[in-house]
């Protein structure tokens, strides 16, 4: 590939050999047809949606339920394979809403979406084009946010006047092939990452007793004794120490990353200005977030690992392991969901709590936990720690490839700054 920079010209920094000259700016309406076919006879029942992170997905499979009422879908768009869909709902990952290509086949989509079909341009190239931000500035200029601040309001006329930057068809094909090959590599590494996560999940089901069992299916050599039942309050001590030192490292619990700084996680602090009433945690202390979510119906328990100290909301139940040598074992125990069935026996969801479970603290520390001897605990913890290191390394590999693609795209498309 050749480096070519021409100030003021509509050309990318990086080009494939044999391609010269300016790219063209075309309006979306010139190269695409608006698709306005409606599901009048309700013949189509497969409802699709356009996710900011996953693209076009089957609504039922994505949300594990039907959001649309099938009886009211006569005004929905009929979409075919390779149609493009614009969802005007904005989010952190899609600041002007996503435009995605439908690769799933025929279905129907909300009338709030815009659906269009390209006439002759390379749709693989255009799929990559819409993953850039080259079209964002225009939509922000013509949008009217109105009362719905979470949704872009754009007239049909303005939407189809959107500028699209295109080289010749052969160059479109080269760019598409290059970026698609990177996508294939990212997907292969992501599949490997998922395989490692699935392996760990399966191993957890073997190395920890399942509900109603007192020993696991799989044991390390030399260990035969039954695991011992205890009350959680016998193994852990509740933490109620307040933040009298005014520590400003406010933490939140992420199911994926554990206890993390709000500033790192949200890019801002969402806590009150005065956090002296928060609980102060030290490295190795545990916190239980009672908020129910789709992946964690009874909430999440995580230890503090990333910082020496931090503070959390008093809505969390916090506790410390009496034996520091057992911290890693209990981290994996909670990750495996071994306490979930016990929590369900005492948890209730209040109608006004928005998913925050009502778990009485006094009842929480009476829950039954089950554990082997300390040597077996350490064997189990070491096994999963090794797996976690492999998962983290694979995750870094995926992220590095994504960053590589991001940098490549910045050079393969014109810089309009």
Per-residue pLDDT of the chain (417 residues; tens, 9 = 90+): 554 444 457 899 999 999 999 999 999 999 999 999 998 877 788 899 999 999 999 988 877 666 666 667 888 999 999 999 999 999 888 999 999 999 999 999 999 999 999 999 999 999 999 999 999 999 999 988 655 668 889 999 999 999 999 999 999 999 999 999 999 999 999 999 999 999 999 999 999 998 888 899 999 999 999 999 999 999 999 999 999 999 999 999 988 889 999 877 766 666 667 899 999 999 999 999 998 887 889 999 999 999 999 999 999 999 999 999 999 999 999 999 999 999 999 987 654 455 788 999 999 999 999 999 999 999 999 999 999 999 999 999 999 999 999 999 999 999 876
Contacts of 396 (CB under 8 A, 6+ apart): none
Instruction: Report how far residue 341's alpha carbon sits from residue 224's, in angstroms, rounded to the nearest whole number.
Output: 25
Length of the chain: 417
Q: Residues 267, 140, 35, CA angle at the centre, nearest 5°? A: 115
Domains located in the chain, CATH noted? 1-22+169-215+375-417 (1.10.287.1120), 24-166 (3.90.220.20), 228-371 (3.90.220.20)
Residue 327: closest CA among 374, 368, 294: 374
Show contacts of 34-38: CB within 8 Å, 24+ apart. Answer: 34/114, 34/115, 34/116, 34/156, 34/160, 35/77, 35/78, 35/79, 35/80, 35/83, 35/115, 35/116, 35/117, 36/77, 36/115, 37/77, 37/78, 38/74, 38/75, 38/76, 38/77, 38/78, 38/111
The answer to whether the beta carbons of residues 62 and 49 sit under 8 Å apart is yes
If you compute the radius of gyration of the chain from its CA atoms, what whole number of angstroms results? 26
Residue 60 has a pLDDT of 82
Structure tokens belonging to residue 161:
């006047």
> The tokens of 11 are what?
């050309």
Strands 357-358, 348-349: pairing kind: antiparallel
Complete DSSP assignment for 223-291: --SPPEEEEHHHHEEE---B-TT----BEEEETTTEEEEHHHHHSS--S-S--TTSEEEETT-EEEE-B
Kind and range of the H or E element at 100? Answer: strand 99-101
Chain centroid to Cα 245, Å, comes to 34
Closest to 177 (Cα-Cα) out of 376, 308, 1 = 1
Q: d(Cα 316, Cα 336) in Å, to the nearest integer? A: 20
- Rounded to whole angstroms, the Cα distance separating 74 from 108 reads 9
Give the pLDDT of residue 352. Answer: 44
- Structure token digits, residue 286: 């545990």
Element (H, E) at 302: strand 300-303
Structure tokens at 202: 């399966």
Residue pointed to by tokens 């080259």: 134
DSSP 42-83: -----BEEEETTTEEEEHHHHHSS--S-GGG-TTSEEE-TT-
Beta strands 14-15; 2-3: pairing state: antiparallel
What would the two tokens of residue 158 be? 């303005």
Question: How far is the CA of 5 from the CAs of 2, 15, 252, 324, 361, in angstroms?
Answer: 10, 10, 45, 59, 64
**Cross-strand pairs, 261:** 251
pTM above 0.75, yes or no: yes
The per-residue pLDDT for 417 is 65
């Amino acid at each position: 590939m050749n480096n070519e920079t021409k100030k003021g010209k509509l050309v990318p920094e990086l080009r494939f050999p044999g391609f010269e000259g300016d790219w063209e700016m075309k309006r979306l309406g010139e190269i695409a047809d608006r698709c306005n076919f409606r599901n009048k006879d309700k013949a189509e029942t497969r409802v699709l949606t356009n996710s900011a992170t996953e693209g076009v997905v089957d609504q039922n499979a994505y949300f594990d339920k039907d959001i649309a009422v099938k009886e009211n879908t006569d005004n929905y768009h009929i979409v075919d394979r390779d149609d493009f869909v614009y969802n005007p709902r904005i989010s952190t990952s899609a600041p002007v809403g996503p435009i995605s290509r439908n690769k799933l086949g025929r279905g129907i989509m909300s009338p709030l979406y815009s659906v269009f079909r390209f006439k002759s341009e390379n749709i693989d190239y255009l799929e990559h084009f819409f993953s850039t931000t080259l079209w964002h500035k225009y939509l922000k200029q013509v949008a009217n946010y109105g009362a719905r601040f979470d949704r872009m309001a754009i007239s049909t006329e303005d939407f189809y006047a959107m500028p699209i930057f295109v080289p010749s068809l052969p160059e479109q094909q080269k760019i598409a092939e290059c970026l698609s090959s990177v996508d294939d590599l990212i997907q292969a590494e992501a599949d490997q990452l998922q395989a490692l996560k699935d392996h760990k999940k399966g191993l957890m089901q073997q190395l920890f007793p399942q509900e109603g069992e007192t020993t696991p299916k799989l044991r390390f050599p030399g260990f035969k004794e039954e695991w011992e039942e205890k009350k959680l309050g016998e193994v852990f001590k509740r933490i109620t120490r307040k933040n009298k030192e005014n520590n400003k490292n406010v933490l939140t619990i992420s199911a994926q990353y554990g206890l993390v700084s709000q500033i790192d996680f949200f890019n801002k602090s969402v806590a009150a200005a005065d956090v002296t009433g928060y609980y102060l945690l030290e490295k190795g202390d545990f916190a239980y977030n009672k908020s129910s979510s789709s992946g964690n119906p009874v909430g999440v328990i995580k230890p503090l690992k990333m910082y020496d100290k931090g503070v959390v909301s008093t809505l969390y139940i916090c506790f410390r392991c009496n034996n520091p040598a057992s911290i890693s074992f209990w981290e994996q125990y909670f990750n495996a969901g071994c306490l979930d069935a016990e929590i369900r026996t005492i948890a209730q969801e209040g109608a006004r709590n928005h998913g925050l479970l009502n778990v009485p603290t006094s009842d929480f520390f009476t829950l039954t936990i089950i554990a082997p001897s300390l040597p077996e605990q350490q064997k189990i913890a070491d096994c999963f720690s090794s797996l976690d290191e492999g998962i983290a390394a694979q995750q870094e590999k995926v992220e590095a490839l994504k960053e590589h693609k991001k940098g490549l795209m910045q050079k393969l498309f014109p810089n309009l700054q």
